[in-house]
A = this chain, B = another copy of it.
């Protein structure tokens, strides 16, 4: 979820519109933030509506939109004088790309979750996430504390897998600057959201973040630098 919120922040920023980013704790997402999070995606197990992030409120139109792809489409439709986030000729291929990308962080996600809770989420959200993960045996074996679940010595292979998955993305992009050539678009913001999530979770200067930006000869350091014009 953090990755997609970072992606949507980049999406909004790329439009060069005046905007204000608000962080919300997960437990406060229900009724009090109903105005901000208008898009009721699913019902929770006890039948109450669930509200989701990312979401935007556009004071110039009064629209409230949730879900990253819908936000991008809304912005393209509403601000046609700005550079398109999902150019028509790339839209289907970008959606396909967005289906694949979330599997790329899988190898290290298991031991990165604790860093996300510590370094990105608010204390209230951390409590909530630990409660949710504790009920998901594929994330956390029953009775095992998150901090003890993935000892350092078992992580080397997972980092190797991650590097191979990023090599795949490098091969796709080839000699281009971004996934959509010379101009960045939604798929690039998704990839940047993933990288920024790693950076925020592990923190700048950490051994883990240094490892990621050294993948493929520093390809992802350059990618984030090239993207700075959109921030």
Binding site for B on A (CB under 8 A): 87-97, 99-100, 168-169, 171-174, 176, 178-183, 187
Contacts and interface: CB of A to CB of B under 8 A. Distances in A.
- Interface-central residue, A169, A171, A179, by most chain B CB under 10 Å: A179
Contacts of A90: 89-90, 93, 180-181
* Number of copies of chain A assembled together: 2
Contacts of A91: 174, 176, 181
A95 B176 contact: no
Contacts of A178: 92
A92 B180 contact: yes
Main DSSP-derived SS at the A contact region:
helix
Contacts of A181: 88-92
B180 A89 contact: yes
A88 B172 CA distance: 12
A94 B92 CA distance: 10
A191 B81 CA distance: 34
A179 B99 contact: no
Contacts of A95: 171-172, 174
Nearest to A169: B96
